[in-house]
Amino acid sequence: MLSTADFPSGTPLHHFFAWNARAWFPDRRYRLMRRPETLPPPVARALMEARGNPDEAAHAAVFAAFEAMQPAQARQRILVIRLSAFGDFVQALGPFAAIRRHHAADQLVLLTTRPYAEFAKALGLFDEIIVDERPTALALGGWWELRRRLRRRRFDRVYDLQTSRRSGRYAALLRPSLPEWSGIAWRCSHPHANRERDAQHTLDKQAEQLLMAGIYPTPLPLLPPVDRPVPPALAGRTIVLLVPGSSPLRPEKRWPAERFGAVAREVSGRGYVPVIVGSASETPLATTIREICSEAVDLTGQTDLTSLAVLARQAKLTIGNDTGVCHLAAAAGAPVVVLFSRASDPDRCAPRGRLVRVLRRPGLTALSEARVIEEIAAILGSTAALDGITCNDEPRRERV
């Protein structure tokens, strides 16, 4: 009889067995895996190859073998849930692509919120976008309408990438006829069976969730081509994006605007055009930066997600706080220098991409403009070294 100890620590099957060993309602696949002699030969062989094997692909093969046992079906109706926020939505681009690849012949529907609907449509991955108006707890009419919209489509499977209390309530809306469900909803068919999932990086968490649902591998987030021109004033110019804002509720995540001004001045002196992006509420930050570097271009409050994607693709470099635009820039393949304070943990949420540098201080006021400029100079001064660099799983980090 197999147990957790048969699989190396940190591997998907180790997580899967440990989770199920303590679950009130163990996964049906776990009950079968414990006695390999009762499994169909393809599944048993895959399981034995994964035993003692640290290779993630061997573990993925076990879950894929279980999926292959299912009878062939006509075109399925598949729902993906990813509601917000901006950075989280961008980090779901890799899972979106993996799900689309796995369900190439199926109807793929995304449930998301209004700010991301047009951007999601432009990705070209989904057959339909459903806008979730996020009814409040007492808005019974809104909940009833959402229930009606979801139930009438008769989804065969749901991939819940939000994995929140709200998306768990959406599973409740579909009971008692809950479709196959990948996520953490109570008694779902394909749970992300990892008791340490909250400590995982978002990308690792989503990739392992999909692996346990039979989808592997999951690529890093990658922006598809965007059919929109850059602003005329920036056409043909080499730009560096500055992202001085972040959530207004988390001011401790913001590096001082005056230091972004010093960075803008340095960038401009090197022949690049500093371009400041952010929401309209962050225009005062841009004003401070332009008082120090008048050559900087202020686009705060003037960009939607698609135009940000265009700018991120054109940028030679992006420098910013821990916010969604830095994830977008990493997904565009541009170098990124992202600044972290103790308010968030890069091990759980740092961008990953072609070239990402993380600079972290307990308080961002302790991070000097000289240190950031040093990192910028190293990147801009060695752009030839970027040739041949592919997506890497781990950004380089500096912590003090």
Q: What is the pLDDT of residue 387?
A: 41
Sorted by sequence, the CB contacts under 8 Å of residue 73 that are 6+ apart come out as 156
Q: What is the pLDDT of residue 390?
A: 37
Instruction: Give me the helix-helix angle, 41-50 and 56-68, nearest 10°.
Output: 170
Residue 337 to residue 93: CA distance in whole angstroms: 21
Residue of 226 and 326 predicted with greater confidence: 326
Q: Average pLDDT for residues 338-347, to the nearest whole number?
A: 97
- Quick one: pLDDT band at residue 392, thresholds 50, 70, 90? very low
- Quick one: pLDDT band at residue 70, thresholds 50, 70, 90? confident
In the block, tokens 């043909």 appear at 236
389 pLDDT higher than 50? no
86 pLDDT higher than 90? yes
The residues with which 340 forms a beta bridge, in sequence order, are: 360
Q: What is the pLDDT of residue 346?
A: 97
Mean pLDDT over each residue of the chain, to the nearest integer: 94
3-state SS assignment for residue 107: strand
Q: Average pLDDT for residues 372-378, to the nearest whole number?
A: 96
Domains belonging to the chain, first-starting first, are 1-72 (no CATH), 73-219 (3.40.50.2000), 232-399 (3.40.50.2000)
The answer to whether the CB of 293 falls within 8 A of the CB of 275 is no
Q: Average pLDDT for residues 324-341, to the nearest whole number?
A: 96
The answer to whether the CB of 241 falls within 8 A of the CB of 264 is no
Q: Average pLDDT for residues 230-241, to the nearest whole number?
A: 94
- Rg of the Cα trace of the chain? 23
Residue 66 to residue 38: CA distance in whole angstroms: 13
Residue of 389 and 187 predicted with greater confidence: 187
Q: Average pLDDT for residues 362-379, to the nearest whole number?
A: 96
Residue 296 to residue 241: CA distance in whole angstroms: 10
Taking phi over 0 as left and psi of -120 to 50 as alpha, with beta for the rest, 236 belongs to left
399 pLDDT higher than 70? no
Residue 29 to residue 39: CA distance in whole angstroms: 10
The answer to whether the CB of 331 falls within 8 A of the CB of 353 is yes
- Quick one: pLDDT band at residue 388, thresholds 50, 70, 90? very low
What is the total residue count of the chain?
400
With a pLDDT cut of 90, the percent of the chain lying above it is: 90
> 110-153, pLDDT tens digit by residue?
999 999 999 999 999 999 999 999 999 889 999 999 999 999 99
> 41-66, pLDDT tens digit by residue?
999 999 999 999 999 999 999 999 99
Give the phi and the psi of residue 323 in degrees, each rounded to 5: -150, 170
| Model confidence, pTM | 0.94
Pairing mode, strands 297-298 and 273-276: parallel
